[in-house]
Amino acid sequence: MKLILASNNKNKLREFREILEPEGFEVVSQSEAGADIEVEETGTTFDENAYLKAKAIYDMFKTPVIADDSGLEVDALNGAPGIYSARYAEEGKRCARVLSELEGVPDEKRTARFKCCICYIDEKGGKHVVTGICEGKIGYEKKGTNGFGYDPIFMYGDKSFAEISAEEKNKVSHRSDALRKFEKVIKGEK
């Protein structure tokens, strides 16, 4: 089954492909499908933003579309950066901002989670939303070279997401959790 991913983010595209292609899905980015648009994320929740992106691409092609909106929620920062994760600071400075804001915060109060909401619009226009979560905490410095975004400061056990392999991350991440739930939705359709 072919799905258009309502994103041109190469890292997200790679993760979606790594998780979904072994299950029989062909995942193409919106630009590969011919959509040269940037959808404004005006929603107030991850769910709303995922839907806005999926609906914009679905309206162009009337074919199955999947979109996600995801981010980091840090309890000591009242859930920030949350839906603003990608815009919390300029590229390359987001981890530093979170670490700076958590300076002096003790280990037990550094709890955080990655959250991923996936919106799938089927070929008939039906909307399906699932949410995946991965609990962890924020470390004290960047560690590792794998992954992207906040992965170097997000501690899953005693390692950051940037210290584990893509295969390990894809078993436990918020995106893989949401995609497993998505698979159940889509398999129930058949």
- Cross-strand bridge partners of residue 128: 120
Beta strands 127-138 and 154-156 are antiparallel
- Cα-Cα-Cα-Cα dihedral sign, residues 158, 160, 161, 166: negative
The closest alpha carbon to 148, from 38, 72, 36, belongs to: 72
Angle of CA points 79, 84, 89, to nearest 5°:
110
From the list 36, 38, 25, 24, the residue with the least C-alpha distance to 66 is: 25
In the annotation, is 69 catalytic? yes
**Among 47, 68, 69, 177, the one annotated catalytic:** 69
User: Which active-site residues does the annotation give?
Assistant: 69
